[in-house]
Structure 1
């Protein structure tokens, strides 16, 4: 191996050594990137996803743990938090990343699809945060990260459910930031711009990928937030590709 090859090898750091982190929607896209970046930083990661088989594959590759999770199911949400605490002895960080979208006009948007998007993107983070915050208050510390979107800041056609859910998630995040600070629990909203993930590429195959960013870049931004000193919290951070088309 020459010097340049040696320099390109990923070296596991200890920036998050000992931290126990639960990532929802962790089996693909940004979720998988988060699991990898945080695991490489020394964290113990629980990969939670509706697709359990895929979650197991990600976890096996990272020597992490995996759990099946429907974030919109109250019993499943509580079980995922409690399973993480049993596995790790604690829960330091919850990352609410799971998300879905339905791209269609208001006229064509079915009630069931509206409910599914809201249930996953907004109700799910509420449930997960509620159960995680209970454990974090007992521990005297914690950090909840909510993955929002530029869709929480501006709107475009044929995405009513997604916009409603992400605007709601941003509001929920700031409300929890205000409510949980006295208990030494940090809450951060991440406004993520377009990424090269199946979430976009599978639905919009003609999208110009040069206007998107790698999900690992957003994951590294999240890691930087998690490694700040205890006395500092970032309540909102925006991470955009240089050629972002949905933000000026």
Structure 2
């Protein structure tokens, strides 16, 4: 039986580990052809090796997601190879957590570059093709931190709130072209993101990937705007 994303072509940034790697696996299992973008070629190669029979549907691409030239190059190469791009998943992200008085300027700049600038650049690179086809889906992996704030999270929250604004505005702009834009906002995920040990009841990367597949495979007449995911906290932990 064909997968729900059979022959769809997707680009996934930040794809070498955690949520990104889980999305790649889920997409490949559903029949998609995936160009996975990350900084580490070794990690991408390891991911490809783990895909088994699906490895032929995965194309690793080492690139700096904060580079507009890299975004344009990957988009062009993907179009040359497959002829179209159906889905862009802006997943790459980084987190640094500290009080505002202690948060380093470099940490702030990195979060803004990876979490906010990169999705803008990759979206901008892929939009002309999607608009011309009047078909395509852009999925932003945001965070619950894009809907609420918390102590020591000023920089991270600011970047994710910005990403939510980008997604909301983009959704309005591309409506005439029948394109879809979705922001997926997970809560705590078991990835050691930002150097913080995850809680044992936290979401798993596969949970987020499952949701992304559901969003991407929805009928074209359906738009999931914002999807907020939280772990079910056991009763004795509440």
Name the counterpart of 2:232: 242
Determine if contact 2:187/2:229 at 8 Å carries over to the other structure.
Answer: yes
* Distance in 2 separating the partners of 1:92 and 1:122: 22
The residue aligned with 1:165 is 159
Counterpart-to-counterpart distance in 2, 1:224 and 1:170: 20
- Once the two structures are superposed, the pairs formed by residues 216-231 of structure 1 within 5 Å of their partners are 216-231=206-221
How far off is 1:45 after superposition?
0.8
2:222 corresponds in structure 1 to 232
Query: Does 2:199 correspond to 1:208?
Result: yes
- Which of 15, 38, 45 is the aligned partner of 1:49? 38
SS of residue matched to 2:99 = coil
- Aligned positions, number: 230
Separation of aligned partners in 1, 2:155 and 2:77 = 31
Q: Deviations over 1:75-112 (max 9, x none)?
A: 11111212222222211000000000111121221222
Whole-angstrom distance in 1 between the partners of 2:102 and 2:212: 36
Unaligned runs of 5+ in 1: 1-11
Show structure 2 runs of 5+ residues with no match.
Answer: none
Deviates more, 1:18-27 or 1:47-56: 47-56
Q: Are the aligned partners of 2:111 and 2:159 in contact in 1 as well (CA < 8 Å)? A: yes
Tell me the CA shift for residue 199 of structure 1.
Answer: 1.4
Residue of structure 2 equivalent to 1:85: 79
Contact 2:11 2:87 (C-alpha < 8 Å) held by counterparts:
yes
Q: What's 2:16 paired with?
A: 27
The residue correspondences of 1:7-22 to structure 2 (distance < 5 A) are: 13-22=2-11
> Is 1:70–2:61 an aligned residue pair?
no
| Distance change in 2, residues 1:218/1:13 (3 Å) | farther
| Partner residue in 1 for 2:108 | 114
- Partners of 2:185 and 2:92 lie apart in 1 by 14
Which aligned pairs between 1:170-209 and structure 2 lie closer than 5 A?
170-199=164-193, 203-205=195-197, 207-209=198-200
Q: How far apart are 1:176 and its partner, in Å?
A: 0.6
- Does structure 2 conserve the Cα–Cα contact (< 8 Å) formed by 1:33 and 1:219? yes
3-state SS of 1:221 partner: helix
CA contact (8 A) 1:13 1:40 kept: no
Distance 1:107 1:46 in 2: 40
Write out aligned runs for 1:150-161 (5 A).
150-161=144-155
Distance 1:56 1:180 in 2: 35
